[in-house]
Amino acid sequence: MKKAYIETYGCQMNVNDTEVIFAILEKAGYVRTEVMQEANLIMANTCSIRDNAEQRIWGRLEVFAQERKARPDTLVGIVGCMAERLKDKLLDTGKVDLVVGPDAYRSLPRLIAAITPDNPQIDVLLSRDETYADITPVRTDKNGISAFISIMRGCNNVCSYCVVPYTRGAERSRDAHSIVREACDVYQRGYKEVTLLGQNVDSYLWKSADECVNFAGLLARVAAIAPDLRVRFATSHPKDISDEVIETMAAYPNICKHIHLPVQSGSSRMLEKMRRKYDREWYLERVAKIRSIIPDCGLTTDVIAGFCSETEEDHKDTLSLMEEVGFDWAFMFAYSERPGTLAQRNYPDDVSPAEKNRRLNEIIALQNRKSLERYRAQIGKKLEVLVEGPSKRDPEQLCGRASNNMMCVFPALDRKPGTYATVEVVDSTSATLICK
């Protein structure tokens, strides 16, 4: 039996892709291992979103190369977004036997069989229709409670800073029935939570001869599987999130009340330049709508500091938007120019690294303060949590998320992972609710 070892970088979609890859590799006679030193095939499923994501992978490639030197029969593969972006450049290093893009995983068995020391293999063709709908992923999560399900691939937006449309290709939605089947299947195997994944889930649209399913319709179908199966989703796009989606969330208690709604900037001038297709007012209106229909909805975001030509005033607009909305949590990044994107071709990357960092640090400091505020506002509330397992800090305690996605820790008593518990919030940090 041959063994495959895969390290996964980047977004949750990559986590799910790795699970699809394991399913495909099984057909080529591989089983999964978590120990690199015993693997016959070592791979990294990679991310190109920012330069530092790629730098990390170059570092890992050196480690893989050492391993291949020590055990010359070992194959090394780079798959995913960086494979798609850099193509032959990865083969030119002489350290890689296999380069496969996100839409070509079905060809892995054939490619692997064709590898010889002088013949590394590459397939980086993008597809208009590949969704791996018929492949049952080999779950790699640790606890058997929460599963990721990809509902679409690619992206049809052209946010000017973003490399994803180039590495993942055009948007396509997966057959709704195959999604519901996969969710039923994981539920029957004991899972209690599914997260539906896409770069822009609100534009999900699947049509057959007699059916047309949008994202709200899909959410309702998955939520109807079982009342004790929690449904989460990511990522929502502010320009596309519809009232129907928000109302569907409100209608089903098992659809978790959390929306990840990346804003990127609080300046309408920057948003236009980023080609986000909404402005500050539109974003604030969507937030108001969400909160009017689901008052206690968890809200998180992504922010980019120091995009091309960003002024101090634009930056202050971002701070004031974050102040006004009060996100529970945010992923915050300094702008990283990506080769081939609209921004790289059209706008100078003219905010200095020091200035980007200063702005990013202000954004982070503000968000930390807001997070603490938002978490402290939960004190005294009773929340239902899905028990995930022992808390990292204290094994006497359990942890689990509330519907709004906040992490809770609470005394273990006799509670078991995979069950629901009602807890009362007694204290908090800026990232954890302390409960009884």
Q: Which residues bind ligand F3S (CB under 6 A)?
A: 10-11, 13-14, 47-49, 80-81, 163-164, 167-168
CB 199 → ligand F3S: shortest distance, Å? 7
Do residues 216 and 176 touch, judged by C-beta distance below 8 A?
Answer: no
- Give 150 or 214: the residue with its C-beta nearer to ligand F3S: 150
Q: How many angstroms separate the CA atoms of 332 and 319, rounded? A: 12
- Give 49 or 61: the residue with its C-beta nearer to ligand F3S: 49
Angle between helices 353-376 and 312-325 (to 10 degrees): 10
Q: How many angstroms separate the CA atoms of 76 and 42, rounded? A: 5
Do residues 77 and 49 touch, judged by C-beta distance below 8 A?
Answer: no
- Give 124 or 162: the residue with its C-beta nearer to ligand SF4: 162
Q: How many angstroms separate the CA atoms of 403 and 314, rounded? A: 34
Q: Which residues contact 409 (CB under 8 A, 6 or more apart)?
A: 391, 393, 394, 397, 398, 399, 432, 433, 434, 435
338 touches ligand SAH by CB under 6 A: yes
**Which amino acid makes up residue 337?**
E
Instruction: Identify residues 258-277 at the interface with ligand SAH (CB under 6 A).
Output: 262, 264
Closest to 129 measured CA to CA, from 84, 180, 173, 80 = 173
CB 302 → ligand SF4: shortest distance, Å? 8
Do residues 409 and 422 touch, judged by C-beta distance below 8 A?
Answer: no
> Which residue's CB comes closest to ligand F3S?
10
**Which amino acid makes up residue 365?**
A
Q: Give me the residues that bind ligand SF4 (CB under 6 A), please.
A: 155, 157, 159, 162, 164-165, 199-200, 237
327 touches ligand SAH by CB under 6 A: no
Angle between helices 215-223 and 176-188 (to 10 degrees): 30
Instruction: Identify residues 190-209 at the interface with ligand SAH (CB under 6 A).
Output: 199-200
The binder of ligand SAH chosen from 41, 44, 49, 383 (CB under 6 A): 49
CB 212 → ligand SF4: shortest distance, Å? 23
- Give 77 or 262: the residue with its C-beta nearer to ligand SF4: 262
- Choose the one of ligand SAH, ligand F3S, ligand SF4, none that binds residue 359, judging by a C-beta under 5 to 8 angstroms depending on kind: none
**Number of other residues whose CB lies within 10 A of the CB of residue 187:** 18
CB 340 → ligand F3S: shortest distance, Å? 13
- Choose the one of ligand F3S, ligand SF4, ligand SAH, none that binds residue 273, judging by a C-beta under 5 to 8 angstroms depending on kind: none
Instruction: Identify residues 222-241 at the interface with ligand SAH (CB under 6 A).
Output: 235, 237
- Contact residues for ligand SAH, defined by CB under 6 A: 49-50, 161-162, 199-200, 235, 237, 262, 264, 302, 304, 333, 335-336, 338
